[in-house]
Amino acid sequence: MSKPLSDHDRRKQISVRGLAGIENVAELKQNFNRHLHFTLVKDRNVATKRDYYFALAHTVREHLIGRWIRTQQHYYEKDPKRVYYISLEFYMGRTLQNTMVNLALENACDEATYQLGLDMEELEDMEEDAGLGNGGLGRLAACFLDSMASLGLAAYGYGIRYEFGIFNQKIVNGWQVEEADDWLRYGNPWEKARPEYMRPVHFYGRTEHHPDGVKWVDTQVVLALPYDTPVPGYRNNVVNTMRLWSAKAPCEFNLKDFNVGGYIQAVLDRNLAENISRVLYPNDNFFEGKELRLKQEYFVVSATLQDIIRRFKVSKFGSREIARTDFSKLPDKVAIQLNDTHPAMAIPELMRVLVDEEKLDWDKAWDICVRTCAYTNHTVLPEALERWPVDLFAHLLPRHLEIVYEINRRHLERVAAKYPGDVDRLRRMSLIEEGGQKRINMAHLCIVGSHAVNGVAQIHSDILKATVFKDFYEMEPHKFQNKTNGITPRRWLVMCNPGLAEVIAERIGEDFIRDLDQLQSLRNYVNDEAFIRDIAKVKQENKLKFAVHLEEHYKVKINPNSMFDIQVKRIHEYKRQLLNCLHIITYYNRIKKEPNKQWTPRTVMIGGKAAPGYHTAKMIIRLITAIGEVVNNDPVVGDRLKVIFLENYRVTLAEKAIPAADLSEQISTAGTEASGTGNMKFMLNGALTIGTMDGANVEMAEEAGEDNLFIFGMRVDDVDALDMKGYHAEEYYNRLPELKQAIDQIAGGFFSPKQPDLFKEIVNMLMHHDRFKVFADYEDYIKCQEKVNALYKNPKEWTKKVIYNIAGCGKFSSDRTIAQYAREIWENYYHVILSINTNNHVNICQ
């Protein structure tokens, strides 16, 4: 059991963690014991640590219920414009501590569990991550939910309740091995099933054209069962809803003709329908055109739109009679945000509902659709763009294919009218790509069917307008916007780094948690000796804590005075973990060459999952682990360089690693990382960034001052120029002796003596077909790393740069991002304000 906080520590942490009042603590203990007894049916003699976690979770959840019901009731009564954020991924992580932070219950729960002889951190560690996402896109959705609730927006997150989330990664003999993430095995205390709102979703079948309209008939039905999870705002009594759909076979599934295959087989075949919500596709920035994935995309869209329209039609709380039938008002009451093209089917599905079911004429329906929907693009990598084969569409969603063709016909008419005779432009702008296999370009569908299209960092939005979507920008420039991504400071500062939050609050108060721009005033403390000392002390404490965690898990002795150099993100060629590897090898070779020099000690940590089918990414992991085996066992190097692959990187590991980082590696080829959000998390937690001018790094340099980041490498223009000229890796290999040495070591089996040609494919790729030009940035990267080493030897100057970085983080709050979406895309100015009175009933005021 960890020792309780001293009185001094308690006083220090009171502001950020909430007050532990005596009545509060007594009530929590009482509720905890009640749940252990009545909910879990255990007593203290037989209860396990997991039982105690569930008892605490149910106790904390009770504090959400009243606020949740009142918030939803308030939305029904006031009837604001509602925002529907539709995403195939919500990478939520754990819920318990985040809920305690947002409800100001952390100190009280800490005290209550302590008095019960339990350690709250140990209980928190029993919770499974909700790993319903791959990386940035899914985690962004989670941050957005927190910000929408904290800003009091009437917003809903809609997605799929995957039975199995992102796989757990094990490293076995240096290789990634995947295992299923059975996160629901012990149950999920945060969700509430809502069978009363079950919706039918149709697949397959055929269309019939009648004088009175089109009918989609002979379909197979799958039921969508909603599960609701509360999303609390930060200390404002607002609790919004994330609704995730689970697939259920209908009772009569396959039984109408059960005498054919037999009753037993018919019941067993129910699994086929329910497979829709079985598992998250584990690809990041890669399109895999599988029928099951298209089913998932239509499943979430169809169920969600039925919910949206039901809610639009009833206006008073709990009322079942139809109140609103004029669909021209839909865009005044509903905003639908499409998180990438994954929910693009919302556009043809909304058209189908309006035209076929609600009998609106096409032009009226189309106007409503466009004014309701908006599309966020997340990548410019061509292999990531969704292009669905027309024949798959025809089979699975025949009516939607007809609708897409009609959307395209009218769209191309408009293009032809504006650019007469430009047939090549018609071909480029069509929603249907002709060629070997006809495909539907989902990005084009989203642009045509939305009133707003946004990129996720300024440079990314500019690239969209100049390249990928140039034709569409020329035709409808008013649609294109930028919304630079952000992160929630609740999870990514207050929760994961309470020591730093406290040091900041001691200087500028705690309002910055709601309004992160207030961090700017920390610039006044950049020369304050005590503040510099406090910032450095918090970092050192976080490093020591993480070092203990690492030594438990990896059996490597960590030097806590070494620079913690961390690159954590999905493994992908464009993110250039290989460039990091080349620096590690170069640094290793330099230490070996001059072992008596005063080298800046480093612990390099690289973590992230590779998509199971992405062979090169798995080889990159194997290379990292192989380099670690050599470097970590070389007595000449000692504790001056260690290399650790962080296994099973996920939200919960990020919360431990990021507060401990000194150096953040953001080294993608310029023009490839749309934004990045890990970069912002490191910046907020007191790490310095080494990075290219890519994604949000550009804006981070702008906010903190370019001198306060380590910027290196080609800019987008340089990359374009090199493409024009032709990139020849051999030129760099022949010109740079240290690069040649590193590559020769990888190729010659220095890091894989038992299998000398283990990495020949990686070397071959780097030398002959490297799309991401690792060698072109090698020289500048190594020089930049030398500057990093030099500054790290001067802790005071290093910490001053850290303070400038923290002070420049305001822009990167997801609160700012969401406020911009609300004003500039959703046209939603509504902020609910809920106040709580002393007898614990929630009052609502406007």
Active site residues: 378, 569-570, 575, 677, 681
Q: For residues 206 and 402, what is the distance between their CA atoms, to the nearest angstrom? A: 11
Q: For residues 239 and 725, what is the distance between their CA atoms, to the nearest angstrom? A: 55
In sequence order, the 6+-apart residues with CB closer than 8 A to the CB of 616 are: 573, 761, 762, 765
Q: Given 3-state DSSP classes, what are the helix, strand and coil percentages for the chain, each rounded to the nearest 5?
A: 50, 15, 30
Q: Is residue 666 within 8 Å of residue 692, measured between CB atoms?
A: yes
Q: For residues 225 and 192, what is the distance between their CA atoms, to the nearest angstrom? A: 11
Q: Which of 343, 334, 353, 327 is nearest to 202 (CA)?
A: 353
Give the DSSP H/E element, type plus range, for residue 453: strand 452-455
Q: Which of 564, 431, 484, 520 is nearest to 804 (CA)?
A: 520
Q: Is residue 553 within 8 Å of residue 840, measured between CB atoms?
A: no
Q: Is residue 67 within 8 Å of residue 842, measured between CB atoms?
A: yes
Q: Which of 701, 600, 834, 828 is nearest to 82 (CA)?
A: 828
Q: For residues 282 and 95, what is the distance between their CA atoms, to the nearest angstrom? A: 22
Dig out the tokens for 346 from the structure: 């919302």
Strand partners for 132: 90
Find tokens 């230490």 and name the residue.
591
* CB-count exposure of residue 271 (10 Å: 0-12, 13-18, 19+): exposed
Q: For residues 778 and 795, what is the distance between their CA atoms, to the nearest angstrom? A: 27
Q: Is residue 688 within 8 Å of residue 664, measured between CB atoms?
A: yes
Q: What's phi and psi for 531, nearest 5 deg?
A: -65, -45
Q: For residues 825 and 85, what is the distance between their CA atoms, to the nearest angstrom? A: 12
Q: Which of 672, 669, 706 is nearest to 689 (CA)?
A: 706
* CB-count exposure of residue 821 (10 Å: 0-12, 13-18, 19+): buried
Q: For residues 839 and 460, what is the distance between their CA atoms, to the nearest angstrom? A: 50
Where b means 16+ CB within 10 Å and e means fewer, 309-323 reads bebbebeeeeeeeee
* CB-count exposure of residue 776 (10 Å: 0-12, 13-18, 19+): buried
Q: For residues 497 and 507, what is the distance between their CA atoms, to the nearest angstrom? A: 16
In eight-state DSSP terms, residue 103 is T
* CB-count exposure of residue 574 (10 Å: 0-12, 13-18, 19+): middle
Question: Could you give the dihedral angle defined by the CA atoms of residues 228, 232, 238 and 242, in that order, rounded to the nearest 10 degrees?
Answer: -30
* CB-count exposure of residue 734 (10 Å: 0-12, 13-18, 19+): exposed
Dig out the tokens for 846 from the structure: 């406007």
Q: Which of 285, 296, 308, 309 is nearest to 357 (CA)?
A: 309
Q: For residues 563 and 65, what is the distance between their CA atoms, to the nearest angstrom? A: 45
Q: What's phi and psi for 665, nearest 5 deg?
A: -100, 115
Q: Is residue 159 within 8 Å of residue 87, measured between CB atoms?
A: yes
